[in-house]
């Protein structure tokens, strides 16, 4: 088994890129795009591309942990992905379960906390059961948070959050006067997490695809022509290097 973490290995490429270790993004979100293209280029089934993408998760998670990133959010399955062929949808459900079963012990040993955003109540029972076990096993871990967006859509998240707000309003738990952006964030799937500093999309596409619509208000976007299965730690460091050379003003003036 390929190890996620190998503390004995030295990483000199960080120095080569001259990354500012005081300016590492706390939260990186990635749209894992290009699995199908990767497979097509090799005349393989699309499902093989998704399987190859699992290996990329390991590489990127390892690099994020090494650099001190606190949250890594991965777009694994969107609310729109149900439109794909049934065989591909079933394969994606099984791949998540396979990933968790194979890697959860090592992730737990390395203090990784698993988190899920999205409406998993609409996924098969075997998915929900495996997710529940992973969440429970790692719930007390204090290391990097691996946040998996599964059956997730930004619009769906906002609608679900609004419904929760309406329920609390009817029960008198909140008032219109005290309700604001900060209080609304407590109803989102990402409650307690900082907004992503940077959103990465490989594969050459340049759109947000209904991803973290509320949270991405001031995220830096970084695009790459690399398909997700070929994305690795070096590509991540290039993205962070570019991020560190941007002037983030959040609507103000420096």
Which residues does the annotation mark as catalytic?
Answer: 33, 81
Residue with tokens 């990483």: 11
Q: Is 32 exposed, middle or buried (0-12, 13-18, 19+ CB in 10 A)?
A: buried
DSSP secondary-structure letter at 130? H
Contacts of 54 (CB under 8 A, 6+ apart): 95, 98, 99
What residues pair up with 198 in beta bridges, in sequence order? 28, 220
DSSP for 172-197, please give it: TS--TTT--HHHHHTTSTTTTSPPPS
CA 147 to chain CA mean position, Å: 5
DSSP for 22-66, please give it: TS--SEEEEE---HHHHHHHTT--HHHHHHHHHHHHHHHHHHHHH
Please answer whether residues 52 and 222 qualify as being in contact, where contact means their C-beta atoms are separated by less than 8 angstroms. no
């Amino acid at each position: 088994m390929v190890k996620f973490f190998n503390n004995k290995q030295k990483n000199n490429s960080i120095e080569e890129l001259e990354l500012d270790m005081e300016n590492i993004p706390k939260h990186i979100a990635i749209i894992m795009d290009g699995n199908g293209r990767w497979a097509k280029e090799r005349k393989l089934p699309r499902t093989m591309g998704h399987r190859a993408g699992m290996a990329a998760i390991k590489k990127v998670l390892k690099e994020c942990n090494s650099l001190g990133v606190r949250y890594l959010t991965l777009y694994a399955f969107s609310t729109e992905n149900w439109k794909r062929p049934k065989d591909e949808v079933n394969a994606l459900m099984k791949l998540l379960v396979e990933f968790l079963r194979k890697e959860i012990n090592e992730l737990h040993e390395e203090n990784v906390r698993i988190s899920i955003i999205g409406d998993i109540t609409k996924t098969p029972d075997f998915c929900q059961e495996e997710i529940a076990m992973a969440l429970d096993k790692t719930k007390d871990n204090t290391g990097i948070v691996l946040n998996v967006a599964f059956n997730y859509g930004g619009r769906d998240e906002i609608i679900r959050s609004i419904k929760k707000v309406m329920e609390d309003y009817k029960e008198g738990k909140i008032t219109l006067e005290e309700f604001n952006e900060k209080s609304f964030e407590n109803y989102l799937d990402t409650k307690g997490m900082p907004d992503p500093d940077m959103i990465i999309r490989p594969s050459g596409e340049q759109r947000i695809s209904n991803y973290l619509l509320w949270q991405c208000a001031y995220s830096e976007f970084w695009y790459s022509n690399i398909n997700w299965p070929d994305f690795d730690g070096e590509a991540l460091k290039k993205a962070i290097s570019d991020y560190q050379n941007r002037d983030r003003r959040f609507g103000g003036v420096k």
